[in-house]
A and B are shown apart, each in its own frame.
Chain A
Amino acid sequence: MAFTLMEGNEAIARGAVAAGCRFFAGYPITPATTILNHMLAMLPPLGGICIQGEDEIASIGFCLGASMAGMKVMTATSGPGISLYSEQISFAIGSEIPIVIVDIQRLGPSTGSATRGADGDIQFLQWGNSGGLPVIVLAPADVKDCYTLTLQAFNLAEQCRCPVFVASNKEIAMTRESLDLERLTLPPVIERVAPAPGQLFLPFQASGGERVPAFLPIGGKTLVRQTSSTHGLDGYITTDPAEITRMLSRMQAKIHAVADQVAMVEHYPAEGAETLIIVYGVTSRASSAAVRELQRRGKPASLLVLKTLWPVPETAIRRAARNAKRILVVEMNLGQYVREIERLLPGKAVDFRGQMDGRLIAPETIVEAIIYG
């Protein structure tokens, strides 16, 4: 047994570097700042670039420029900064710019509490873009997830040419934990796909049955256009409804198509359990403790931990809920993801237990919700 002591934010930085990230820009904000600190320590000696922007809008703007120049990029912030990112996020979605965006959630709304955790941005991450196209959001539960899911996030961003969010929480980000680095199972690193040589390059053309356009960088031999405007295959503005429909449908389909591939869940069915607890993020840990206690008291409950929040892992959730009489969704907010569960499981009794006061949800709270309803 050999452990390293590491906080969640350092694990995110190290996972990013392992994924090949060589450009980071961010603006200081608790509880995300230590990602900026770690990237600043790690990237320059590797020949990479780490910049502190004049604000959050600039920080993500730098990243979008560098990503279009061919680099793997990441930025990190918290609720106030994610709000400022919003317009650039829409741009990255609509113009298919790979980027990993880390949101270390803190207690909101607004300035809220800088040093208190919450999971209050879960619907915002999906719907905080104009146009309402789907995004990918991964939610770590511990320091190990911070490392591996960040690497996964880069793979998905590069593969799908889209922003991918890592929805962490102060309670994971700034908590140090023992981590066995040797035992991490990491997927192979995925790179952007260049077009087949000899073909006419159109920056937004997905050919050969693909849903994701091949990528060439701005600054290479072939001229590349990027635009935030509604565009056709060539990257010029279009007003042709048929062309617009094809483009936007493809962007929607490319995320829907990977939904099952992206779906990362951990299912712990318990024999004789009537209730299935559905959780994500740091609350999944209190839920594990609660499930153990319930087993001890002879009131077993099953547990489903979601590591992928968007696209909603619908197949996995339906499968896990098949035999459950009751569903309990527990969140560090006033009820956000429970809406997706209600939508997916009509006819099932779906209960919700939430808490948004800066404290972790305790295992006893979950135990009580199971036993007393």
Chain B
Amino acid sequence: MDSLLNAARPPVFCPGCSHERITHILDRAFQSLGLSGERIAMVSDIGCSGLFDTFFHTHAFHGLHGRALTYAAGLKLARPELTVVVTMGDGGQGIGGAHLLSACRRNLDLTLLVLNNFNFGMTGGQYSATTPPEAEVGSGFLNRLERPLDICGVATAAGAPYVVRCSAYRSDIAEAIRNAIAFKGFSVVDIWGICPGRFSKRNRLTPKGIEEMLSRLTPFEGQVSENQRREFGEHYRELAAAQKPVPSPQVIAATYAPLSADRQEVILLGSAGQRIITAGEVLCLAGLHAGLNVTQKNDYDITVLRGPSISEMILSPQAIDYTGIGRPSVVVALGPEGVARRRKMFAGLAEDCTVIQAAGVDVPACRARIQPVDFKGQGFKSTDWALASLGVMAKLGLVIRPQMLEDALAARLKGDVLTGAQEIVRRAEPGE
């Protein structure tokens, strides 16, 4: 294969920069893989490593600092046939650490080349995530306070199946990069090099010195046996293909006449776990069976298993504009937490409003008509009170007819759950 280097845009690195060496070596790796430019996407971000994409005749995506792996993931998922090579610096590992961890855990077939030269070259040699504490860099004493990141150790712990740590001056580095690209899965190559413009101006660092530093560390030479597993994209496509299509939205035709020509507002006040929201939905579906416009607005705390649960429904022959509850026709008090959250509302209830009050739940004094219902005495579990209250409403001729409710249950539920729900609404009695 021919070189993929862009003759019109030769490398512009500082004399002696190891990045220039890696540029040529990467080109050799591409050639040995027999890849043409349109089969490769070079993804880079900010810093000197971010210049790489301009030196190659390949597709190129140059983005924000530390985020190269995010674009690479989108490209690879959209075009699995592309060879996607990401170049980042040691700076990018700091700012984009979350993406490194996730890329390792995800195992999408990308190759990450970390051009690790122990400092931020472009901005004045400040310390990065990999700067040794003993180095003299452009951040004063700050690097003496922090421990350098072991990129390969972290990548391995996070699940990267292919990890290499090597010197930019290693004789077989082209082969190492080639093998990393050829590996099907996420591969990380942490390449230690020299930044002559900044780092080695104040710190003595030679290729031999890098070798000595590396020799004192755990070697990483490719496949990490305990992290071998299926490549994410292939696995994703297999699982995705097995997913069932989502049915078209359920369309409910009007089969009954509505009970009222006016806007009806209903509010269910309960506690988490009482299936308040589901009952609200069933009420809305009942409204649809009479051709009514409906809205359902819920109010609950961000925790799910405790606290108030409130559902506010509007059913109206006219289009519904304002979705707030102003003048409820029916208030259903099923739990003290819901009642407490709407305590102030009771004083304003009108005389033609009905409050269905579950036995054992106190409500503030109000002018509304109180309909006490002993759901517990009728043998209902607290989780079924909301549904039972719909049965009570239908029997009292409030807002919905029994047939609307039956049809709504059939539209929403199936099998044993439906049978159980039908029994509940049929059995529920207004009582006194």
Residues of A with Cβ closer than 8 Å to B? 1-6, 10, 14, 23, 25, 30, 38, 41-42, 44-47, 49, 51, 53-55, 57-58, 60-71, 73, 87-88, 91, 114-115, 171, 174-178, 181-182, 217-229, 235-237, 282, 285-286, 288-289, 359-360, 362-364
Contact = CB atoms under 8 A, between A and B. Distances in A.
A57 B62 contact: no
Nearest to A177: B295
Interface in B42-78: 43, 53-54, 57-64, 67, 69-78
B284 A176 contact: yes
Given A4-B249, A222-B38, A223-B59, A178 B75 contact: no
Contact of A178 (B9, B79, B293): B293
Contact of B102 (A54, A182, A235): A54
A221 B71 CA distance: 20
B321 A62 contact: no
A54 B108 CA distance: 14
B127 to A, nearest CB: 22
A6 B249 contact: yes
Given A23-B78, A178-B292, A65 B70 contact: yes
Contacts of B288: 3, 5, 178
A1 B294 contact: no
B95 to A, nearest CB: 10
A250 to B, nearest CB: 20
B296 A49 contact: no
B300 interface: yes
Contact of A53 (B70, B75, B296, B297): B70
Interface of B: 9, 37-38, 41, 43, 53-54, 57-64, 67, 69-79, 81-82, 98-99, 101-102, 236, 239-241, 243-246, 249-254, 281, 284-285, 287-288, 291-302, 320-324, 326
Contacts of A288: 321-322
B75 A218 contact: yes
B294 A226 contact: no
B302 A220 contact: no
A45 B246 contact: yes
Given A45-B243, A66-B77, A5 B324 contact: no
Contact of A46 (B58, B245, B291, B295): B245
Contacts of A175: 295-297, 323
Given A49-B78, A54-B101, A61 B63 contact: yes
Contacts of B75: 65-66, 68-69, 218-219
> Which residue, B69, B79, B254, B301, has most C-beta atoms of chain A within 10 A?
B79
A25 B284 CA distance: 31
Contacts of B246: 38, 41-42, 45
A307 B356 CA distance: 40
A5 B252 contact: yes
A177 B320 contact: yes
> Which residue, B54, B287, B292, has most C-beta atoms of chain A within 10 A?
B54
B59 to A, nearest CB: 4
A10 B248 CA distance: 12
A228 B53 CA distance: 12
B63 A23 contact: no
Contact of A181 (B70, B249, B285): B249
A145 B417 CA distance: 34
Contacts of A66: 74-75, 77-78
15 contacts: A1-B254, A46-B245, A58-B67, A62-B71, A62-B77, A66-B74, A73-B74, A176-B296, A223-B58, A223-B60, A225-B60, A227-B63, A228-B64, A229-B62, A285-B321
A222 to B, nearest CB: 7
Contact of B253 (A1, A63, A282, A289): A1
Nearest to B39: A219
A88 B323 CA distance: 35
Nearest to A55: B98
A287 B190 CA distance: 60
Nearest to A95: B63
Nearest to B245: A45
B223 to A, nearest CB: 24
Contacts of A68: 61, 71, 74-75
Nearest to B57: A223
A63 B78 CA distance: 10
B323 A2 contact: no
B240 A45 contact: yes
Contacts of B59: 218-219, 223-225
A286 B77 contact: no
The 8 closest A-B pairs by CB, nearest first: A65-B74, A61-B70, A44-B240, A69-B78, A65-B71, A54-B102, A66-B74, A219-B79
Nearest to B233: A49
Given A57-B70, A176-B281, A360 B302 contact: no
Nearest to B315: A178
B294 A177 contact: yes
A270 to B, nearest CB: 15
Nearest to B99: A58
